[in-house]
Structure 1
Amino acid sequence: MTPAPTPEQGPAAADGAWIFPLREATVTTRAALVTGATALSLVLLGVLATLSVILCVTRPGSIVWWVPLVLLPLAGCCVAAWRWEPIPVGGYVAIGVVVAASLVALTVGAAGSPAQAPAGTASFLLSMTTNVAVLIGATSDRWTGGIAGALGGYAVGEGAIVVTAAIVGLPYRLDLPPIAIAVGVAVGYAFFPLARRRARRGTALLDDADRRTRARRLRELEGRESIALLHDTLLGELAALARRDPGPLTEADRVRLATSLESSAMLPLLRDKTEPTPDGVAARLVAIGAAGGIRLRLEGDLAALDTMPEPAGAALRSALEQCVVNVARHSGVAEAWLAVAASPGRVDVTLVDEGVGFDPDAVPHDRLGLSESVHGRIERCGGSARVWSSPGAGTSVHLSVPAGG
């Protein structure tokens, strides 16, 4: 049984559905916001660069020609802040210096651009680049850093613009969009501790549900294996007793039942499943067949049966033993053939007899011999089992299991 994942192990699978730990919600949400902020910043810078180039081409003199070039360092800061995690103190200082220098240059450019100067410090060019400064600051690796970074980015950008505007004579205008974005980002980051507390409460409930689901699946698997073992041992012998006439067992009956118990499934039940069969799996199958009056002819890579890792090896051995017992009990012939084919990824075994056969579709689903002792065992270890048979035409059973266990 696969143990429940630890917080460091990330997502877990239960009943085929992936369950993502709620404890990771704030981390992934912040990562998504940072990536989105970086993408938005690059889009804004791309729009500004495109508009600046268009103005330079269509209306020469309306904007200083070198403005698009100043936007490149800001784009570099966006990418650096996104890729650099965690950002060291020196990194914050370097990014802050580049952002401030870029906005100083853009303020000078706005003052010398007839298309931007009338709007003063609230021009479209300066407003959008201040927004970029806020978003760069918001890429911090902690929620407290996100708040400080957003507000600090606004302070650095607006401070550089105001000081430079006073020097070059660009009129001051209050620019509300950067303020709204800075406050909005800061408030958003302030909710992260609340989200983390709620995630912790939800994680406890999710982990408990996952443990109960895994425990239920383990009980189901143990129950199905117990049913298969019960069929392999007691039910077969009880069926034999039920078919005989009432009265005490004869000595011949005692010998037959003792031999059947020994040869069919008592040994797998009594011995440690991790203990290898002394004479090999193939030899044991031959012995089981001989005890039931069947001569088992073997061919192929028989050694693969002894080197199968667990639990696939135990499942294949038990299923093969039951198949040989079925041939001895029901086929009505004295000979059967078993072939083993091994590949790097799988082991395939085919058992064939030319006996009376049967109609697999006519076997009730509640019959345990094939459904649990063979199909159930093989499928629980990730393999497959197929049966071909028809009345009077014999039976072929093909078992395929993963060689990796």
Structure 2
Amino acid sequence: MRVRILPRETAAAVITGSVSAAGWAVAAATILLTVPVLVETLVQRERIADLPLPLILLGVVLGGIVAVVLRPRRWVAMLYLAVAGIATLGYEVTLLIGDPEIVEHSPYLVNRPSLALVLVGIPATRAVVGIAWSLLGFAVSVVTGVVAFAIVGMTFSPGFGPLMVLGLATLAYLTLASIQARIRSRVPNFDDLESETQALEHGEDLARRTTAVVHDTLLNDLAVVMSAPDRIDRRTRERLLVDLETLRGADWITASAAVNLPAEDAGLRNNLARMASEFQWRGLSLHLTGSPIAHHVLAADVADALLAALRASLENVLRHSGVTTAEIEVIADPEHVTVMVTDRGAGFDPDAVAPDRLGLRTSVVERMGSVGGRAQIWSAPGEGTSVIISAPTGQRGTS
């Protein structure tokens, strides 16, 4: 079973961002709870006529909070600080003008919107970023208060609310940073661990491929040389040269190790091996078999058509069959090279396929017909699918 684990940076952003999310929730609750206190205070102080403007300004601050929650971007947070700072300035001036004693009677009412400025922040991977946003919000709240008190000609009295909120936010960020540091020291980095595992698997896979290629070429060729008469005929020499070129070119490095095809069909074998490796990484395991009957050369256009038709058949298995394995059998006779692809998947009704659907009809049947080959498809719902692709051979010689 493979367990999906978030990358460390993403997990850190999620965890640290939770403080920002909590901060926005507290800020919104603070603004909402300010409304009934504001109404009650202004009614008691017989200032009902001054009530609409502070309420509107509180609504502006609350709208800014909602905007940042919906779109947590740096520029949105900066715009929030600017707009909410101006709204807070207007709110404080409105309360202080003509009623300086309100600071002594309800000090928390005056600086309540300033708390929402301190609780600004966006999801970040490091606690220091969250603390920096809180400090910036605190600075805006202080500047706003200084300007508001200066406008009404009073001595600035900031109160302890914004400072307490700054301390709590900093403590929360530092606590999470400490927890993350302890987790990092005890839990391995799964990204690095997976990279190391993939490197080991790649090395083992390369070793398996090397063994397979040596078996299919070098060992078989040594056996031929040992059992051959005093003089090696032309056909055997050509075969040895082809295998030598295969080893020299190192194309087999990208081939699959699970290929079990006859050495006589070296060229086709190598192309099929590369294709098998590709589909294996995409989630389709292929079982390849073949019978060592003949040794052929396929014309370039015929070989391309054969491999393209085979690829289309495998794509069909991968996309529509619902299974993860398929079988490929290669049969060579003096006149044809035939490849049969079989899966035990969902299957389909070939007669029910609409004429305007290209699919296997164009990519397999018509393609092989254009180079003198042929293709046949057998399938039924629930019975799997078999595709037989046959290509005409050219001259006898090296594949």
TM-score for the superposition, normalised by structure 1:
0.46
